[in-house]
Amino acid sequence: MKRRNFIGYTLLFITSCSATTNNSKIENKPEKLRFAVTDVVEERKLKRDYEAFRAALEEVLATKIEFFPVESFAMAAAALQLNQVDLLLAGPSEYVVINSRTNAIPLVAVTRPNYRAVIAVPADSPIKSAAQLKGKTLALSDIGSTSGHLGPTKLLMEAGLDPQSDLKIMMLGDDGSLENFKQGKVDAWGGSALDYQNFLDTEGVSENNFPIVAKTDLLPSDVIIISNKLDSQAIEEYKN
């Protein structure tokens, strides 16, 4: 589940935070905060996709923010426990898992425009609904991803299908699932509407070329989590 298109995302975040902490008098306020995103491994990709968001976060919290790459949301949870990360941006399903493993504190929810899961097929496909995926192959992204796994699975179940026996589901990651879909190696693709639109824009095609046959309602917000190892007064100031 990639969280790109951060112009709107960043603006939404800034407008949702009415106060900054420029005039803080807290003695133990950290000089910097280490920031990770659960689904971005490389620091290069963090800078490419999240620099605008990092800068906005730095402005809102009035504290220097540094990127800290993690390889998975499991490693993100471990990094919080080991005091290697101070702030973490996680999807809703990832937050549930991380919250069960750590005592990290939710700082703020961040809403993404048009954040929903979709299932799409090639234009020449006879498949016109999720129910017609029975006996077919569906490419998804990562196990546990809200929009890249749980959302499409919900659509299958609502269509009366058993995801474990009625079709073949291939977990291929964000890039792998879309690449296999583009090459026609699978019958359908499921994932984030934002990733779907980015795919159309990158390929220079329209929804007519890869029509959507099913979509969810808007999904829950992402969550910025803050480590409970920070000074409690600083945490309260950031929350306010």
94 and 160 share a domain?
Answer: no
Q: Report the CATH number at residue 92.
A: 3.40.190.10
* Euclidean distance between CA atoms 151 and 190, whole angstroms: 8
Report yes or no on 104 lying in a domain: yes
**Angle at CA 122, nearest 5°, toward 117 and 124?**
145
pLDDT for 81 beyond 60: yes
Report yes or no on 36 lying in a domain: yes
Report yes or no on 26 lying in a domain: yes
Per the structure, how many domains does the chain have?
2
H or E stretch covering 223: strand 222-226
Q: What is the pLDDT at residue 25?
A: 61
226 and 108 share a domain?
Answer: yes
Higher pLDDT, 167 or 40: 167
Report yes or no on 1 lying in a domain: no
102 and 163 share a domain?
Answer: no
Q: What is the pLDDT at residue 4?
A: 45
Under the banding of pLDDT at 50, 70 and 90, the label for residue 11 is very low
104 and 14 share a domain?
Answer: yes
Q: Look at 82-96, 149-163, 164-178, 204-218 and tell me which has the smallest mean pLDDT.
A: 82-96
User: Average pLDDT for residues 150-168, to the nearest whole number?
Assistant: 97
User: Average pLDDT for residues 123-142, to the nearest whole number?
Assistant: 97
Which domain covers residue 178, as residue numbers? 117-215
Q: What is the pLDDT at residue 7?
A: 40
10 and 107 share a domain?
Answer: yes
H or E stretch covering 212: strand 212-215
User: Average pLDDT for residues 118-130, to the nearest whole number?
Assistant: 98
Q: What is the pLDDT at residue 61?
A: 87
Higher pLDDT, 23 or 166: 166
Under the banding of pLDDT at 50, 70 and 90, the label for residue 214 is very high
225 and 191 share a domain?
Answer: no
197 and 233 share a domain?
Answer: no
pLDDT for 3 beyond 70: no
100 and 183 share a domain?
Answer: no
Say how many residues make up the chain: 240
Query: What does the DSSP 8-state code read for residue 49?
Result: H
* Euclidean distance between CA atoms 183 and 187, whole angstroms: 10
